[in-house]
Structure 1
Amino acid sequence: MADKSVIKPTASAPAIDTSSWPLLLKNYDQLNVRTGHYTPIPSGCSPLKRPLDDYVRYGVINLDKPANPSSHEVVAWIKRILRVEKTGHSGTLDPKVTGGLIVCVDRATRLVKSQQGAGKEYVCILRLHDAIDSEKKLAQAIETLTGALFQRPPLISAVKRQLRVRTIHESKLLEFDNDRHLAVFWASCEAGTYMRTLCVHLGLLLGVGGHMQELRRVRSGTTSENDDIVTMHDVLDAQWLYDNTKDESYLRRVIRPLESLLTNYKRVVVKDSAVNAICYGAKLMLPGLLRFESGIEINDEIVLMTTKGEAIALAYAQMTTAVMATCDHGVVAKVKRVIMERDTYPRRWGMGPVALAKKKLKTEGKLDKYGRITDDTPAVWKSAYVDYANNADGKQPEPVFGTSSESIVAAAGMAPKITVLDVAAKDNAPVKRTREEDASEEPESKKPKKEKKEKKDKKEKKEKKEKKSKA
């Protein structure tokens, strides 16, 4: 009998069920694979297993806002309770309004703008000023006020009272009591829609007048009131429990990783070696791509993530899914907003053989500080050197091997002479002028200044003479 403990090589890999994996790793096996070869780096960790300090700093709270305090007050209280540097929220709720308010902590505040623009859902109580004929008439009025509507903010509002267009995606009547003149309806709308104004419009449409009695937000973006919503008491109790008993479980249940807000974005998985470069603002190039989602179009907003499921940045796609699968070079995405802190992963740029050889030549003085060739540069390096920055035609010439530096300059079509000032202007580095450069620049730059000074002096003298003559 064959030994069952021995795993025999097969052409097909066993299927892994990733449908229950958390956050951005959900359905990871369904992502398109660019390459499976990369070197894992032990830095970073899964969002749910971060150390508590990092877990709080990269966390969001789905808060059930109480009535009466403003959104700003609630966010300030949470900042004081958790003792963190920054907090922000996903969209202002009026003091009397209750419901879902997403509070972002520290690093998660970088997602505030994207969450403020997300769609919202509300349940509203409408009070009519008189009885109407039937419930059907109210349902028709609610259905009429869907789509793009003109709205002017209410008299008491924090923004300029300017006419604007807002979209009501869907709305439906839930309950109606004609005797008490009360109606309850649900609406899914664009960010910035005023439900108070919508209630006034419903009253006008029915011919009896109306106003908003009560309002509750039930969804903000992808987060609804059913997704582990917590109260202010929960936040305070969780922090107290940790301070007094060092029990993290309650605090980890109250605060969620920021990745929970990004589950509706298209995902692109990045190699560990490219993570820190992106944190410093670099574009994602194809060699750093591991996996990508289907249906990505150019300029789509995507989330760049690590193999451990951490969000690195929000970015704009520069390639479609088809191009990512077939192309062998190019820019995959440009960073919109970096989320991960710098140096969470180690630096891995400038570690290749050519880059290391270049650093060595710089330290030995065989290349100048900008990496340009000098008289002491080895012949092999000179023959392979092409200065792309000073290419006159704008074309990228191929390096010419086995020839002198003069022939490379001729083949590349570069300008014959580069001054130190040109390089300093590009690199923003202070450079001392040579006497020759000063002499060559004097007639162009210094003469106009002298002429201006002479004109000013003449004007001042004339004014003085006129004053004396008047006196």
Structure 2
Amino acid sequence: MDGIINIDKSSGMTSFDVVRRLKRILKMKKIGHTGTLDPMATGILVICTGRATRLAQDIEGQRKTYIAGFELGYKTTTYDTEGEITHRTDKGAKREELEKALENFRGEIDQIPPMYSALKVNGKRLYELAREGKEVERKSRRVTIENLEILDFDGRKGTFTCTVSKGTYIRSLIYDIGELLGTYGVMTSLRRTQVGEYTLDIAYTLEEIEDMMGKEDYSFSKSIEESFLYPTIEISGEKNIKLFNNGNTLIYEKEDGRYRIYNDKKFLGLAEVKKCRLKGYKYYNV
């Protein structure tokens, strides 16, 4: 099975837990996810299977939309409710103060990743260092907050929706908003509602997939052809087909970009054109 599966992850599972369970359900080894969700988070986790795993970075790089719950007035080691509380304050905020603070976080911003994250420093993951009681300097990185809107807020607790670029930590965003307000902010819930074109209305729980597999219904998996709706190029001639299938370069007068490649309406794979040079994208061929 080579394809893309849109999972609606439940709370309490790591992204790797989802992959391990899918390996058992699908009875296959080559499975990978396209962007980690914390255990407490729910929602979309896009999974690649078989040869589609080569294309995981393409999906991981797409923008993501979340609905996040937050609370002001205390700080934890993890920036969410799963961490140890380290500071408290009675200070909340008025809605207009929060609205004004959010103006500073829309667009391109510099964000420092939290200590409790899977990023590596000198070969060791940050959360491993954090569990040892160590805190190291983290470099800020540029991320984009395309949309950030309050859904509800009572002066202490609230929710907002946001659409962000790859690498954005919602926990850190809430922490930084709290800092700007002169208080503390903690993430209380997180649901990922969209990754690129993948939405919750076309997502499946693990239980649903297991049930469908029992009925030999594989409609939960989308093919590479369906998942990457790039423009098409039709190639002909045994020599060109052989060159493409072997990952060689073809000369083709097309605009730069990514394409789906066909021969006699049969899907062959994906390719990228740069300066009229066509090559199988990420060496993906059917």
TM bucket normalised to smaller: 0.7 to 0.9
- Report the counterpart of residue 316 of structure 1 in structure 2: 273
Task: Work out the percentage of aligned pairs sharing the same amino acid.
Answer: 30
Q: Given residue 267 of structure 1, which amino acid in structure 2 is its aligned partner?
A: T
Please report the TM-score for the alignment, with normalisation by the length of structure 1. 0.50
Does residue 109 (structure 1) correspond to residue 53 (structure 2)? The answer is: yes
Q: Which residue of 1 aligns with 2:98?
A: 138
Distance 1:97 1:252 in 2: 26
Whole-angstrom CA distance in 2 between matches of 1:174 and 1:162? 31
User: In the alignment, which residue of structure 2 is the partner of 1:259?
Assistant: 225
CA separation of 1:133/1:155 partners in 2, compared to 1, >3 Å: closer, same or farther?
A: closer
| CA distance in 1: counterparts of 2:139 and 2:262, whole angstroms | 40
Distance 2:144 2:262 in 1: 32
Contact preservation (8 Å) 1:279, 1:313: no
The residue type paired with residue 112 of structure 1 is A
The answer as to whether partners of 1:259 and 1:311 remain within 8 angstroms in 2 is no
Gaps of 5+ in 2: 74-89, 121-137
Q: Structure 1 89/133 Cα, relative in aligned 2: closer, same or farther at 3 Å?
A: closer
Could you say if the C-alpha distance between residues 335 and 209 of structure 1 is closer, same or farther in structure 2, counting changes exceeding 3 Å?
Answer: same
Going by fraction, where is strand more abundant, 1 or 2? 2
How well do the aligned residues superpose, as a CA RMSD in angstroms?
Answer: 2.2
CA 1:78–1:136: 2 relative to 1, 3 Å = same
Report if aligned partners of 2:171, 2:187 keep a CA contact under 8 Å in 1: yes
Counterpart AA for 1:224: T
The structure-2 alpha-carbon separation of the partners of 1:340 and 1:212, relative to structure 1 and needing over 3 Å to count, comes to: same
Cα drift, residue 191 of structure 1: 0.6
Aligned partners of 2:244 and 2:279 also within 8 Å? no
Cα offset, 1:307, TM superposition: 5.0
Dislocated runs of 4+, deviation >4 Å: 130-133
TM-score computed with the length of structure 2 as normaliser? 0.80
Q: CA–CA distance in 1 between the matches of 2:68 and 2:13? A: 19
Partner of residue 204, structure 2: 230
Which of residues 176, 196, 201 is equivalent to 2:176? 201
State how far apart, in whole Å, the 1-side matches of 2:18 and 2:268 are. Answer: 27
Tell whether 2:271 aligns with 1:334: no
Distance, in Å, in 2 between the alignment partners of 1:141 and 1:305 is: 51
Larger Rg: 1
Does 2:235 match 1:270?
yes
Q: Distance in 1 between matches of 2:65 and 2:200?
A: 10
Aligned-residue offset at 1:134: 2.9
Asked if structure 2 preserves the Cα contact closer than 8 Å seen for 1:128 and 1:182, the reply is yes
Question: 1:202-231 CA distances to partner (integer Å, 9 max, x unpaired)?
Answer: 1111122211111111111221212x2100
Amino acid at match of 2:99: A
Higher relative contact order (CA 8 A, sep 6+): 2
**Which has the larger share of helix?**
1
1:83 equivalent in structure 2: 27
What residue number does 1:58 align with?
Answer: 2
**SS of structure 2 residue aligned to 1:173:** strand
Letter in 1 for 2:105: L
Q: Is the 8 A contact 1:305 1:313 kept in 2?
A: no
Q: 1:223–1:261: 8 Å Cα contact kept in structure 2?
A: no
